[in-house]
A = this chain, B = another copy of it.
């Protein structure tokens, strides 16, 4: 019989954390008793509870600790975190600790160091025992010292920011059969609050933005300077150009709902036209491209990042085709982001969730309950997801922000 004393801190609000931990201990077949606790008289003050955990074997105990540490428990009598040296660039030691995305501290030389910007699944590098940094697997360098296993690491489930308009929405998904107006109004106010606080609003857009005819709303938001960075797929940009040049999106007329089975010729011609021009900027300069989302970006000098996919017909000169480099570009471009709005593009949304510190609030909009729930799970607890069409969401958002 081995045992360990663990502690969970937090506000009464967050008692789900404790419930989860207790459930996890019980499901793993371990036993515990309450050793000590303090429950604060009021909601502002933290409460805490200590549990004495008992297991039959050291392995069971370590396994359980590994698990509940992810959930927010930490060992009371903590030792310093163990670190190991990285032997080669981009390769971690076995058992390297991977961040959950939640606010995390690591114990070094007897002190708890906070890890700023906790990127989900990144390793923790400890510099000179004095500074902790989140480092994605691809960025670790030979010689770095990174934390292994979960000893000396503590995670605190974030209390939602009190002043955020998204409070109460984060961590949930709103099904289609609910009134969306009030939720979109909150998202709009969060856009304003974020920008007022000097942080950046990032917009992620998939092809559905163009296919549904929602490009016009995004265009107005960009022209009004309400979006600081646009991240899109190569194909979204191609369809945007196609709709400017021909009024179609993958061969279907946007002004006409008729199913016009014209094939995708226009798409190829649009793609080819930008390739021939040497890119979106030169195409605008030559007058080839005179409208649409990317014309708005270039006019408003809003930066954008275009990312290619294997299923593209071909890449625009502006698109990053190497996915590893695109990931790196994302990490850099996303610094200083205070809010991410992501519409109908699950692959890029996942990439952005990974490249943003866990606590940054994120909104995901898509039409499938399944995709939307998956994103909430992946980005918990900082994602709010809405089952809605790109067109319906963007129209209401633009209205709420005075852009339409």
A window 172-203: CB within 8 A of B: 172, 174-183, 186
Complex-state Cα separation, A267 to B90, whole angstroms: 15
A residues with CB within 8 A of B: 12-16, 18-20, 22-24, 26-27, 32-34, 37, 39-43, 49, 66-67, 70-71, 88, 90-92, 94-98, 100, 120-121, 136-138, 168-169, 172, 174-183, 186, 208, 211-213, 252, 254-265, 267-269, 271-273, 275-276, 307-315, 321-327, 330, 344, 347-348, 350-351, 354, 367-370, 373-374, 387-392
B residues in contact with A88, CB < 8 Å: 276
Q: A268-B121, A370-B368 are in contact. Are A307 and B310 (CB under 8 A)?
A: yes
Could you name 28 residue pairs across A and B whose Cβ atoms are closer than 8 Å? A12-B22, A13-B19, A13-B23, A15-B19, A16-B19, A19-B19, A22-B43, A27-B260, A66-B265, A70-B263, A70-B265, A90-B314, A169-B258, A174-B257, A176-B212, A177-B212, A177-B389, A177-B390, A178-B212, A178-B257, A180-B212, A180-B391, A308-B324, A309-B347, A310-B347, A315-B323, A367-B370, A369-B370
B residues in contact with A213, CB < 8 Å: 179, 181
Contact of A34 among B16, B40, B315 (CB under 8 A): B40
B residues in contact with A315, CB < 8 Å: 323-324
For this chain, the copies found in one complex come to 4
B residues in contact with A176, CB < 8 Å: 212, 367, 370, 389
Complex-state Cα separation, A263 to B379, whole angstroms: 11
Interface of chain A: mostly helix, strand, loop or mixed: mixed
Contact of A178 among B70, B252, B269, B344 (CB under 8 A): B252
Contact of A311 among B49, B310, B351 (CB under 8 A): B351
B residues in contact with A13, CB < 8 Å: 19, 22-23, 26
Complex-state Cα separation, A264 to B262, whole angstroms: 34
